Amino acid sequence: MNAGSVRRPLIGISAYVEPAGWAVWRDVPAVLVPQAYARAVTAAGGRAVVLPPDDVDGDVVAVLDGLLLAGGADVGPGRYGQRPDPRTEDRPDRDAGELTVLAAALAADLPVLGVCRGMQLLAVAYGGTLHQHLPDVVGHDAHRPAPGVYGSHPVRFAPGSLSATVLAGVERVNSYHHQAVADPGRLAVTGWADDGVVEAVEDPALPFVLGVQWHPENEPDPRPITALVRAAGRPVEAGCDARRPRAVTSPVGGSTDGQGLSGDRLSTG
């Protein structure tokens, strides 16, 4: 690659571990992510890299340009000091692995986008808490109308925020979740549904740390993912990365020398 040329930004997408089936195989534990995430990253000019849960270290961020925390199962309530509701279904391996890579990504100033569960994980990592079953709070099921059925609702954003800039003109979003952010911790809330449910959070102290409660990968215009890829783009000099790991303090606790943080060093409230 020639000096000064631009390559596709590498976007790490956190993956599910769920039973899956293909060909003659059934209920095999598999590392997977819905294709819609990878398709949206590719359409925006990025290269998707699937990240299985791994809490040994976060050193993968040294080769990434951005991090996308995908949706999925609930964040474990123990991560924010609560006992689990009977309707909460968590994945401890995902929590541990994603919090580890998230801490390293934030310490390296990588652009980060959290989608649905990913936004909730961001809030927990920044010291916040969640509503474990949203219908108990808002009195309806419109945010997850039925299994496998997306809801739709109005949304508004705080003027001047990253959310408002990225999502200018967006007035409705899809919805599929039964949990929501109760306390954003050290994040700023910059988006709301018409019933007051938190729909967007961000860290104003960093260039691009954004969480959205809906699923932009399933929207015709996946603006948050496009914005993540654009924020992650950078020139490549003489075929090598322009960015180098550096010793900085992670907003979610501790410091890193580019090799990442272990999950148990996170300050998760």
Residues forming the active site: 116, 215, 217
- Could you say which DSSP state residue 213 is in? S
Reported as type and span, the H/E element at residue 39 is helix 35-43
DSSP string, 13-32: EE-EEEEEEETTEEEEEEEE
Contacts of 16 by beta carbon, 8 Å cutoff, 6+ apart: 31, 32, 33, 70, 72, 73, 91, 94
Contacts of 67 by beta carbon, 8 Å cutoff, 6+ apart: 11, 12, 14, 61, 101, 102, 105, 110, 111, 112, 113
- Could you say which DSSP state residue 146 is in? B
Q: Which two tokens stand for residue 136?
A: 């108990």
Strands 47-51 and 10-14, sheet pairing: parallel
Quote the distance between the C-alpha of residue 244 and its chain's center: 23
Q: Write the Ramachandran bin of 20: left for phi over 0, alpha for psi from -120 to 50, otherwise beta.
A: beta
Reported as type and span, the H/E element at residue 105 is helix 92-107
